[in-house]
């Protein structure tokens, strides 16, 4: 009994330590974000233990009356924020959104085209992930490593040749808007559906600071609710189609296709995050991109090899840096060293790397620092901290103190309502 209690305490201590590490450091993982106090209230509620299946007003459980109000408000807000005629707010992650879209719009054995994981595609776009689970026959796009996007002419030619049922566009390494319109035109010519995985860039899209996939040919947009979109963990499934049959297919692919009950407290959190996004999202999205551009330029000025210089380094929340030669593992070492100074990032494969566990790159994101109120001048300070640690070889303990000092001025979450 004591051992069990001790274990519970050990878990809670680690939970608090994790909060302290992030709260005194610089969280720069491009797929993460921080939730607002009001979203936290919604998430930390009685709803966390409740069940619902179906859609508002059409449930398989009693007790859903209040939750029907919440989910209906979330759906309507998602339609406004993403400028979509259809929204499903139930998927429990971006991958689950992808599974639902694939279930709705493809059959096992169908052909699909996507970005390869080596070029930054997400694992759910791969044979080892949701694409394989659905039994799809995958062909990946030729990649333009200079522009860090599919080689548009070759990708369109490939789509015309392969004639897939689905052309999947989007990735986890996402520096620039995809050449979506051209690829969607090619896909529609051969009768393919177009799915845009906007997991990383959903908040930038909603804030008008990136491309607008539903106006550029995407039939369906999937995404996470917790990366640049600053809500609780989960997913969205969106479409601008008014085709009721398609909308029904998408809804049934979510339930019962890929979810039974879902995370009601997260749906409430998504609804609050959507409301806050309507009030603050445009500024937040533009500030996040401005910070990424400032960080990239500052890192380059400090002597780092920042990818895509010719295109201005980035047009999203992400920045990529190269450390050493391909497959050298220097990206892994850099990420580990940064963490000792309280700077949390992730190693990433870059063009030329072939080994996911020993790549040469780092992927950085500015969305969370932006949410804490940092701006372009703080991005210059951040770049200087990187230089002191990774180029000058300064002792991590000393850099850690300055990380802590910088962060102490940016404790609270911005772009949200008062608690
Ligand atoms: N693997 C995540 C990322 O960091 O991009 C997305 O699921």
| pLDDT tens string 314-337 | 999 999 999 999 999 999 999 999
Predicted confidence at residue 43, as pLDDT, reads: 98
Q: Is 172 in the pocket of ligand 1 (CB under 6 A)?
A: yes
Q: Which residues are CB-neighbours of 243 under 8 A, at least 6 positions away?
A: none
Predicted confidence at residue 291, as pLDDT, reads: 99
What tokens were used for 296?
């990239």
- Write b or e for each residue in 215-248: b if 16 or more Cβ atoms lie within 10 A of its Cβ, otherwise e: ebbbbbbbbbbbbbbbbbbbbbbbbbbeeeebbe
Q: Which residues are CB-neighbours of 9 under 8 A, at least 6 positions away?
A: none
**Residue that the structure tokens 């979506």 belong to:** 180
Predicted confidence at residue 323, as pLDDT, reads: 97
**Residue that the structure tokens 């759910």 belong to:** 124
The residue whose CA has the least distance to atom 3 of ligand 1 is 31
How far does the centroid of ligand 1 lie from the alpha carbon of residue 129, in Å?
13
197 has which bridge partners?
170, 222
Residue 29 CA: nearest ligand 1 atom is 4
Percent of the chain with pLDDT over 90: 99
The residue whose CA has the least distance to atom 2 of ligand 1 is 31
What gap in Å lies between CA 211 and CA 257, rounded to an integer? 30
Q: At 68, is the pLDDT very low, low, confident or very high (cuts 50, 70, 90)?
A: very high
Q: Is 31 in the pocket of ligand 1 (CB under 6 A)?
A: yes
Predicted confidence at residue 95, as pLDDT, reads: 98
Determine the 3-state secondary structure of 44 from DSSP. Answer: coil
Percent of the chain with pLDDT over 70: 100
* DSSP codes, 200-251: TTHHHHHTTSS--GGGTT-SEEEEESSSSS-SSS-EEEEE----HHHHHHHH
Question: pLDDT tens-digit profile of 96-112?
Answer: 999 999 999 999 999 99
Predicted confidence at residue 2, as pLDDT, reads: 81
Checking if the pLDDT of 1 tops 80, the result is no
What gap in Å lies between CA 150 and CA 365, rounded to an integer? 21
What tokens were used for 209?
């600071």
How far does the centroid of ligand 1 lie from the alpha carbon of residue 27, in Å?
15
308 and 295 in contact (C-beta within 8 Å)? no
Predicted confidence at residue 111, as pLDDT, reads: 98
**Domains along the chain with CATH numbers:** 39-274 (3.40.640.10), 281-408 (3.90.1150.10)
How far does the centroid of ligand 1 lie from the alpha carbon of residue 211, in Å?
20
Mean pLDDT (the chain) is 97
Q: What value does the mean pLDDT take over residues 154-172?
A: 98
What tokens were used for 198?
């906007």
Question: pLDDT tens-digit profile of 379-410?
Answer: 999 999 999 999 999 999 999 999 999 999 99
Q: What value does the mean pLDDT take over residues 210-239?
A: 98
Checking if the pLDDT of 290 tops 90, the result is yes
């Amino acid at each position: 009994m004591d051992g069990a209690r001790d274990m519970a305490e050990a878990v809670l201590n680690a939970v608090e330590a994790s909060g302290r590490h992030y709260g005194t450091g610089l969280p720069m993982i491009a797929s993460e974000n921080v939730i607002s106090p009001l979203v936290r209230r919604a998430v930390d509620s009685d709803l966390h233990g409740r069940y619902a299946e179906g859609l508002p007003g059409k449930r398989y459980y009693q007790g859903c009356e209040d939750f029907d109000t919440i989910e209906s408000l979330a759906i309507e807000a998602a339609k406004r924020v993403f400028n979509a005629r259809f929204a499903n707010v139930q998927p429990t992650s971006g991958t689950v959104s992808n599974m639902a879209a694939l279930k709705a719009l493809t059959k096992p054995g169908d052909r699909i085209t996507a970005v390869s994981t080596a070029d930054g595609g997400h694992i759910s776009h791969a044979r080892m992930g949701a694409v394989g689970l659905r039994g799809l026959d995958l062909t990946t796009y030729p990649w333009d490593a200079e522009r860090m996007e599919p080689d548009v002419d070759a990708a369109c030619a490939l789509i015309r040749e392969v004639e897939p049922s689905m052309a999947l566009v989007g990735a986890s390494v996402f520096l620039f808007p995809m050449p979506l319109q051209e690829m969607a035109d090619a896909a529609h010519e051969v009768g393919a559906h177009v799915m845009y995985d906007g997991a990383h860039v959903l908040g930038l899209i909603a804030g008008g600071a990136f491309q607008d996939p539903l106006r550029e040919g995407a039939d369906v947009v999937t995404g996470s609710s917790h990366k640049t979109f600053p809500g609780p963990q989960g997913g969205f499934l969106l479409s601008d189609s008014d085709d009721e049959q398609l909308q029904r297919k998408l809804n049934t692919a979510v339930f019962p296709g890929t979810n039974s009950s879902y995370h009601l407290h997260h749906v409430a959190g998504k609804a609050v995050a959507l409301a806050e996004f309507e009030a603050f999202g445009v500024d937040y999205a533009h500030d996040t991109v401005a910070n990424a551009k400032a960080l990239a330029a500052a890192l380059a000025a400090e002597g780092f090899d920042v990818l895509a210089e010719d295109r201005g380094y980035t047009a999203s929340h992400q920045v990529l840096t190269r450390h050493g030669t391909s497959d050298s593992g220097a990206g892994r070492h850099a990420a580990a060293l940064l963490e000792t100074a309280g700077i949390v990032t992730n190693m990433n494969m870059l063009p030329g790397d072939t080994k996911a566990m020993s790549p040469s790159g780092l992927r950085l994101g500015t969305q969370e620092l932006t949410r804490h109120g940092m701006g372009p001048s703080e991005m210059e300070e951040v770049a200087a901290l990187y230089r002191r640690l990774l180029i000058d070889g300064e002792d991590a303990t000393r850099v850690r103190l300055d990380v802590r000092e910088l962060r102490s001025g940016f404790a609270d979450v911005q772009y949200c309502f008062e608690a």
